[in-house]
């Protein structure tokens, strides 16, 4: 006659002692009969907000007290306890009259030979609160990052378009960090060549002491100051003003150069305007002037060549949208943004030639008003060779909102939405696996998926080797 092997652990002691041990080691413990009916409830933590309700739970089935999505998990906990398997922890939720559900990490073990079970749980509210705070902190960082990006864009636009010559100088080394186009023009040097030079080197030797005294005085007092100097190129007198500002952990000089000469005669202004028009006419990038509706008033030689036409008269009077964009929407969007913001930079689209050949281009546009008339100016640059190596593809999906925007106009919206949804799904699955330390069952619970569905998605996205696990 065979004998039942003796039980060990909690199974070897009576139910009262077992639930006492379980409540001491956990936040919540239940003594259940073989059918899962609650016989006794013990609270190991006084912070559990179910003290009053727990007295009414005796005599009810535990599976009826949890939320609907948690019931299958409770049934699995009971099945593993009855089969003497090593119990796994599962996340279940108890409804609360105070608002949000109470998250509990639950497991169970069978005691004695009558089929009774001890179910015990750990309070997950602190962890859920930390996760929520982490999400909120991440969202706040994203908002701050976007705000900084917008501020940087505005600063860059103002810096480049400012008519006053401006230099940003390191206060320690007195080397030029940035120079705007107006400074490059007045100093007769390219902005890139100005960067890295000492501020003393760009002025004549006779003015170096003046510049040093100016910077030392501003650094000592902290107040802006100015000095007049003469540029050697054309003996132009300029006022050099400097002010101190702090950036991160260092300080910078904001140096401005303002001509002190009287305003240029009208004839000189006309000559300069003529030079500008000649430069635009012979520029390697296309340049087009239109009215407010996009009707072409003038175009340079480069734009005519892009369209593979023979003369500029062939485009005058035509609408720019006849050659621009994949659809008529591109020009409408471009004009709307220019009218709203005053200028648009690096708008990506296509240019169709007279022979239906398509070229990837970037367009910068600006609205100009002279008296009662207004017009739009467009600078069109061929970027086809550059984009052939840099264009984002759907095989290398975008990792940020900025990269996603770059796909608009180059990939159909339906493909962007489908592929982006796959990307988000893959990233969520990878994140869940990292958080659960590659525990597939826990990851499935975290994502709200069945284990079978998770294995299917793992195979689909080729995440880990799950073929053998999926058969278990």
**Residue 468: predicted pLDDT:** 45
Task: Give one word for 59, left, alpha or beta, with left for phi > 0 and alpha for psi -120 to 50.
Answer: left
On average, the pLDDT of the chain sits at 78
Q: Quick one: pLDDT band at residue 1, thresholds 50, 70, 90? A: very low
Question: How far is the first Cα of the chain from the last one, in angstroms, to the nearest whole number?
Answer: 36
> What pLDDT sits at residue 6?
39
Average pLDDT over residues 10-26: 67
What are 89-98's pLDDT values in tens digits?
888 888 877 7
DSSP 387: H
What's the average model confidence in pLDDT over 328-345?
81
pLDDT band for position 8 (50/70/90)?
very low
262-284: pLDDT as tens digits: 334 444 445 566 677 777 788 88
Residue 151 burial (10 A CB sphere; 0-12, 13-18, 19+):
exposed
* C-alpha span between 224 and 246 (Å, rounded): 14
pLDDT at 267 (0 to 100): 43
Which has the minimum average pLDDT: 81-90, 125-134, 323-332?
Answer: 323-332
What values do phi and psi take at 240, rounded to 5?
Answer: -100, 115
Q: Would the pLDDT of 193 be above 60?
A: yes
Residue 148 confidence class, pLDDT cut points 50, 70, 90: confident
Q: What is the pLDDT of residues 312-336, one digit of tens each?
A: 888 888 888 888 876 667 788 788 8
Average pLDDT for residues 360-369, to the nearest whole number?
86
How far is the C-alpha of 433 from the C-alpha of 442, rounded, in Å?
Answer: 8
Residue 469, helix vs strand vs coil: helix
- The Cα-based distances of 309 to 136, 300, 314 in angstroms read 56, 12, 7
Least trusted range by pLDDT, from 23-27, 132-136, 397-401: 397-401
Q: Could you tell me the pLDDT band of residue 405, with boundaries at 50, 70 and 90?
A: low
If pLDDT is split at 50, 70 and 90, which confidence band does 438 have?
confident
Q: 187 with 199: CB under 8 angstroms?
A: no
Q: Does residue 5 have a pLDDT over 50?
A: no
Distance CA 411, CA 407 (A): 6
Q: Which residues, other chains included, contact 263 with Cβ-Cβ below 8 Å and sequence gap of 6+?
A: none
User: Does residue 103 or residue 12 have the better pLDDT?
Assistant: 103
* Placement of tokens 């608002």 in the chain: 99
The pLDDT score that the predictor gives to residue 467 is: 41
Distance CA 379, CA 362 (A): 8
Task: Give 366's strand partners.
Answer: 343, 377
Say which residues have a Cβ less than 8 Å from residue 4's Cβ, sequence separation at least 6.
Answer: 113
Can you state the angle between helices 413-435 and 440-447, rounded to 10 degrees? 130
What pLDDT, on a 0 to 100 scale, did the predictor assign at position 406?
60
How much is the average pLDDT of 298-323?
Answer: 86
- Pick from 173, 167, 158, 197: which is nearest to 185 by CA? 167
Cross-strand pairs, 393: none
| Mean pLDDT on 418-427 | 80
pLDDT of residue 84: 76
| Stated length of the chain | 472
Task: Quickly state the pLDDT bin for 340 (edges 50, 70, 90).
Answer: confident
Query: What pTM did the predictor assign?
Result: 0.34
Q: Which domains does the chain have, with CATH numbers?
A: 9-123 (3.30.450.20), 162-259 (3.30.450.20), 266-390 (3.30.450.20), 401-471 (1.10.10)
Name the nearest CA neighbour of 105 among 37, 38, 25, 31.
25
3-state secondary structure 12-28: HCCHHHHHHHHHHHCCE
Helix (H, G, I), strand (E, B) or coil at 11: helix
Q: Give mean pLDDT, residues 158-172.
A: 85
Does residue 53 carry a pLDDT above 70? no
Give me the mean pLDDT over the 4-32 stretch. 65
């Amino acid at each position: 006659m065979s004998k039942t092997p003796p039980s060990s652990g909690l199974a070897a002691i009576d139910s009262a002692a077992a639930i006492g041990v379980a409540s001491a080691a956990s936040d919540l413990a239940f003594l259940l009969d073989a059918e899962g009916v609650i016989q006794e409830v013990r609270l190991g933590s006084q912070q559990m907000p179910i003290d009053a309700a727990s007295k009414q739970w005796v005599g009810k089935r535990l599976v009826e007290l949890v939320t609907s999505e948690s019931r299958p998990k409770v049934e699995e906990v009971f099945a593993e306890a009855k089969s003497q398997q090593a119990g796994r922890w599962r996340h279940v939720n108890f409804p609360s009259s105070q608002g949000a559900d109470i998250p509990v990490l639950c497991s169970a073990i069978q005691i004695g030979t009558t089929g009774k079970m001890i179910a015990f749980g750990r309070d997950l509210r602190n962890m859920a609160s930390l996760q929520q705070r982490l999400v909120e902190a991440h969202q706040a960082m994203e908002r701050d990052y976007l705000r900084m990006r917008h501020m940087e864009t505005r600063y860059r636009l103002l810096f480049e378009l400012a008519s006053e010559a401006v230099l940003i100088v390191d206060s320690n080394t007195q080397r030029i960090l940035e120079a705007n186009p107006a400074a490059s023009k007045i100093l007769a040097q390219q902005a890139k060549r100005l960067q890295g030079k000492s501020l003393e080197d760009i002025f004549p030797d006779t003015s170096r002491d003046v510049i040093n005294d100016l910077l030392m005085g501003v650094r000592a007092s902290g107040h802006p100051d100015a000095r007049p100097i003469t540029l050697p190129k054309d003996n132009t007198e300029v006022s050099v003003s400097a002010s101190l500002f702090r950036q991160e952990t260092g300080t910078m000089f904001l140096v401005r150069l303002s001509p002190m000469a009287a305003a240029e005669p009208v004839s000189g202004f006309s000559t300069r305007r003529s030079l500008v028009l000649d430069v635009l006419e012979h520029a390697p990038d296309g340049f087009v002037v239109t009215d407010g509706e996009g009707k072409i008033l003038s175009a340079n030689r480069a734009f005519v060549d892009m369209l593979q036409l023979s003369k500029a008269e062939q485009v005058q009077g035509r609408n720019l949208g006849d050659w621009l964009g994949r659809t008529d929407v591109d020009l409408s969007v471009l004009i709307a943004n220019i009218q709203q913001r005053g200028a648009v930079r690096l708008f990506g689209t296509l240019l169709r030639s007279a022979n239906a050949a398509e070229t990837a281009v970037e367009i910068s546009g600006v609205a100009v008003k002279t008296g009662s008339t207004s017009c739009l100016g467009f600078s069109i640059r061929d970027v086809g060779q550059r984009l052939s190596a840099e264009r984002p593809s759907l095989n290398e999906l975008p990792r940020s909102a900025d990269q996603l925007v770059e796909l608009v106009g180059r990939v159909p919206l339906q493909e962007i939405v489908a592929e982006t949804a796959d990307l988000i799904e893959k990233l969520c699955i990878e994140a869940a696996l990292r958080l659960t330390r590659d525990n597939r069952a826990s990851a499935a619970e975290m994502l709200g998926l069945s284990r079978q569905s998770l294995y299917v998605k793992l195979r689909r996205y080729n995440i880990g080797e799950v073929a053998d696990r999926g058969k278990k």
